[in-house]
């Protein structure tokens, strides 16, 4: 049994969401995905405590819109999860656990063209700048996740839009940039890192 299956079996995916900043107002604990927090009589999510397991949050219900990586820790305000994004949203309305994260066994392949064509580059480590490590473009047209889970960022230094790439989603295959997420308007990815368990 892998570490992620052990976490899931013990109910160790745990997140607490709060309707107001700084862990105030209505709160609810989850150990499973939530497709629409509005159906739980919340108006929005403004702060979060991740107790176990990595999660991905979404700007809109049904896992739509901007994606936000949520690893173990406290997120007292929206800036804590939107980070250095050039696009800020003050709320999150859906979220789910990332079940295939394995920081010690993560591998991803970047491709120069859509449909896994052209030059490729395999990564097993975090890169704050893909261009500094030898990738000749600001764009990554297609991606194959061989193992684990990754977060790609629009700009160097882990800034800008966030895109979550999971081995267990889409069989790890992202043939073109519009498969990166519903908010993906470009294939610009300039930094990537493994998702922490």
Q: Do 38 and 93 reside in the same domain of the chain?
A: yes
CB atoms within 10 A of CB 159: 16
Q: Do 63 and 119 reside in the same domain of the chain?
A: no
Q: Do 61 and 139 reside in the same domain of the chain?
A: no
Q: Do 115 and 59 reside in the same domain of the chain?
A: no
Tokens of 102: 């394995």
Answer for the pair 54, 97: CB distance below 8 angstroms, yes or no.
yes
Give, for 78, the enclosing helix (H) or strand (E): helix 78-82
Tell which of 97, 123, 157 closes a domain: 97
CATH no. for residue 11? 2.60.20.10
Q: Do 43 and 116 reside in the same domain of the chain?
A: no
- The model's pLDDT over 140-172, given as tens digits with 9 standing for 90+, comes to 999 999 999 999 999 999 988 899 999 888 899
Q: Do 119 and 189 reside in the same domain of the chain?
A: yes
Is the CA virtual torsion 20, 37, 184, 144 positive or negative?
A: positive
Give, for 48, the enclosing helix (H) or strand (E): strand 47-52
Residue 102 in domain: no
Q: Do 112 and 76 reside in the same domain of the chain?
A: no
Tell which of 70, 97, 124 closes a domain: 97
Residue 139 in domain: yes
Residue 14 in domain: yes
Q: What is the DSSP letter of 169?
A: S
Q: Do 68 and 120 reside in the same domain of the chain?
A: no
Q: Do 91 and 111 reside in the same domain of the chain?
A: no
- The model's pLDDT over 16-69, given as tens digits with 9 standing for 90+, comes to 999 999 999 999 999 999 999 999 999 989 999 999 999 999 999 999 998 999
DSSP string for residues in 101-129? --TTS-EEEEEEEGGGEEEEEEE-S-BS-
Q: Do 130 and 185 reside in the same domain of the chain?
A: yes
Residue 87 in domain: yes
Backbone angles phi, psi at 8, to 5 degrees: -65, -45
Give me the domain span that covers residue 120.
107-194
Q: Do 52 and 117 reside in the same domain of the chain?
A: no
Q: Do 130 and 92 reside in the same domain of the chain?
A: no
Pairwise CA distance, residues 190 & 73, whole Å: 25
CB half-sphere exposure, 91, CA atoms < 13 A: 13
- The model's pLDDT over 79-122, given as tens digits with 9 standing for 90+, comes to 888 766 556 677 789 999 998 777 678 999 999 999 999 999 99
Number of domains composing the chain: 2
Residue 144 in domain: yes
Full-model pTM: 0.86
Answer for the pair 194, 98: CB distance below 8 angstroms, yes or no.
no
């Amino acid at each position: 049994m892998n570490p992620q299956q052990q976490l899931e079996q013990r109910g160790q995916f745990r997140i607490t969401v709060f309707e107001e900043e700084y862990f105030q107002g209505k709160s609810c604990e989850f150990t499973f995905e939530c497709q629409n927090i509005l159906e739980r009589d919340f108006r929005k999510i403004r702060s979060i405590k991740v107790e176990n397991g990595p999660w991905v949050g979404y700007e809109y219900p049904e896992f739509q819109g901007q994606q936000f990586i949520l690893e173990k820790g406290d997120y007292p305000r929206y800036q804590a999860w939107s980070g250095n994004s050039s696009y800020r949203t003050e709320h999150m309305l859906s979220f789910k656990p990332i079940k295939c994260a394995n920081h010690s066994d993560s591998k991803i392949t970047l491709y120069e063209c859509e449909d896994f064509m052209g030059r490729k580059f395999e990564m097993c480590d975090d890169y704050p700048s893909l261009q500094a490590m030898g990738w000749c473009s600001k764009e990554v047209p297609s991606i194959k996740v061989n193992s684990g889970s990754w977060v790609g960022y629009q700009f160097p230094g882990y800034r800008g839009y966030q895109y979550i790439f999971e081995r267990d989603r889409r069989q790890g295959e992202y043939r073109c940039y519009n498969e990166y997420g519903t908010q993906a308007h470009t294939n610009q990815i300039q930094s990537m890192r493994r998702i922490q368990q």
